[in-house]
Structure 1
Amino acid sequence: MTTITTKATITTRTVAYPADGLTMLGHLALPAGGGRRPAVLVGPEGTGLSDVERGRADALAELGYVALAFDLHGGRYLDDPEEMLARCLPLLADPDRMRGIGRAALDVLRTEPRTDPDRIAAVGYGTGGAIGLELGRDGAGLRAIGTVNALTTGRPGEAAHIRCPVWAGVGSEDPIMAPAQRDAFTAEMQAAGVDWRLTVYGGALHAFHHPPVDHPTVPGVGHHPRHARRAWRDVVDLLAECLPVTEDPGA
Structure 2
Amino acid sequence: MKTVTTRPVQYLADGLTMIGHLALPAGSDRRPAVLVGPEGMGLSDVERRRADALAELGYVALAFDLHGGRYLEDPQQMLARCMPLLADPDRMRGIGHAALDVIRAEPRTDPDQIAAVGYGTGGAIALELGRDGVNLRAIGTVNALTTGRPGESTRIGCPVWAGVGSEDPIMPPAQREAFTAEMQAAAVDWRLVVYGGALHAFHHPPVDHAVVPGVGHHPQHAQRAWRDVLALLAECLPLN
Using the size of structure 2 for normalisation, the TM-score is: 0.99
Structure 2 residue 42 is the aligned partner of structure 1 residue 41: no
1:40 CA drift (Å): 0.1
Give the whole-Å Cα distance in 2 for the aligned partners of 1:211 and 1:97.
28
For structure 2, list consecutive stretches of 5 or more residues without a partner in the other structure.
Answer: none
Matches within 5 A, 1:3-82: 9-82=3-76
Deviation, structure 1 residue 229: 0.1
| Aligned counterpart for 1:212 among listed residues 193, 206, 213 | 206
Q: In the alignment, which residue of structure 2 is the partner of 1:243?
A: 237
Aligned to 1:165: 159
Instruction: Pick one of 192, 198, 203 that aligns with 1:198.
Output: 192
- 1:73-116 Cα deviation digits (max 9, x unpaired): 00000000000000000000000000000000000000100000
Residue type of the alignment partner of 1:82: Q
CA distance in 2, matches of 1:239, 1:83: 33
3-state SS, counterpart of residue 210 of structure 2: coil
Q: Secondary structure at the match of 1:229?
A: helix
Residues 2, 25 of structure 2: 8 Å contact kept: no
The match for 1:108 among 97, 102, 108 is: 102
- Secondary structure of the corresponding residue to residue 145 of structure 1: strand
State the 1:245 CA deviation. Answer: 1.0
Question: 2:239 and 2:79 mapped to 1: Cα distance?
Answer: 37
What is the CA deviation profile of residues 116-162 of structure 1, one whole-angstrom value per residue up to 9, with x for unaligned ones?
A: 00000000000000000000000000000000000000000000000
> Which of residues 83, 96, 103 is equivalent to 2:77?
83
Residues 172-219 of structure 1: CA deviation (Å, up to 9, x unaligned): 000000000000000000000000000000000000000000000000
Gapped runs of 5+ residues in structure 1? 1-6, 247-251
In 1, Cα distance between the equivalents of 2:225 and 2:140?
10
- Corresponding residue for residue 179 of structure 1: 173
SS in 2 for 1:56: helix
Displaced runs of 4 or more, over 3 A: none
Q: 2: CA distance between counterparts of 1:207 and 1:200?
A: 13
| Count of aligned pairs between the two proteins | 240
Equivalent residue, structure 2, for 1:148: 142
Which letter maps to 2:68?
A: G
Shift of 1:8: 5.6
What does the per-residue CA deviation read over 1:210-237, in whole Å, with 9 as the maximum and x for residues that have no partner? 0000000000000000000000000000
Structure 2 distance, partners of 1:112, 1:188, is 34
Alpha-carbon separation, structure 1, partners of 2:57 and 2:180: 30
Amino acid aligned to 1:236 = L
> What TM-score do the two structures reach when normalised by structure 1?
0.95
Distance in 2 between residues matched to 1:221 and 1:75, nearest whole Å:
23
Structure 1 distance, partners of 2:197, 2:30, is: 41
Instruction: Report sequence identity in percent.
Output: 84
Q: Distance in 1 between matches of 2:168 and 2:25?
A: 35
